[in-house]
Copies of this chain bind each other. A is one copy, B any other.
Amino acid sequence: MTNKKNTIRYSISDIASDLDVTTRTIRFYEEKGLIMPERTAGNQRVYTPRNKARLKLILRGKRFGFSLDDISEMIGMADSDTNEIQQIEKSLAFGNAKLKEIQERRKELSLLEQDILATREKLIQRITQLKPSNNLNRKEE
């Protein structure tokens, strides 16, 4: 009943190769307060699956152009252990704002797609004009 898979742990280079970032990047995120892994007796970093999931979230945010400060606030939501009610409510408001932002991103993503589709169309038109009938001219060099 008291079953929690507390067994899995990763080293920093495990995480690095899994998530395809450098160890420097991971340590840097820790400096900025985005993750706080445990340590071994010898002071080496040890990561839980939970830590890993958080790192994934961070990297996802980055891929959408969020700054580390943005992300810091977004996940500041998560580890509000010692936080009082006020703080939690503030975090909730922030999270809701981010959700709205995500909705806008969805729209923008479609626009971006349309832009690219449009330019592609033009390119295809141009190329079919330049190659009136075929491209069977074998002139490789």
Contacts and interface: CB of A to CB of B under 8 A. Distances in A.
B115 A57 contact: yes
A41 interface: no
Given A75-B119, A123-B80, A99 B85 contact: no
Interface stretch (A19-27, A31-39, A43-51, A58-66): A58-66
Interface string A73-96: 011011010000100110110011
Most B CB contacts (10 A, CB to CB) among A61, A102, A119, A130 go to A119
Copies in the complex: 2
B117 A99 contact: yes
Nearest to A108: B60
Contacts of A116: 74, 77, 95, 98-99, 102
Contacts of A109: 64, 102, 105-106, 109
Interface in A103-118: 105-106, 108-109, 111-113, 115-117
Nearest to A118: B78
Interface string A8-28: 000000000000000000000
A126 interface: yes
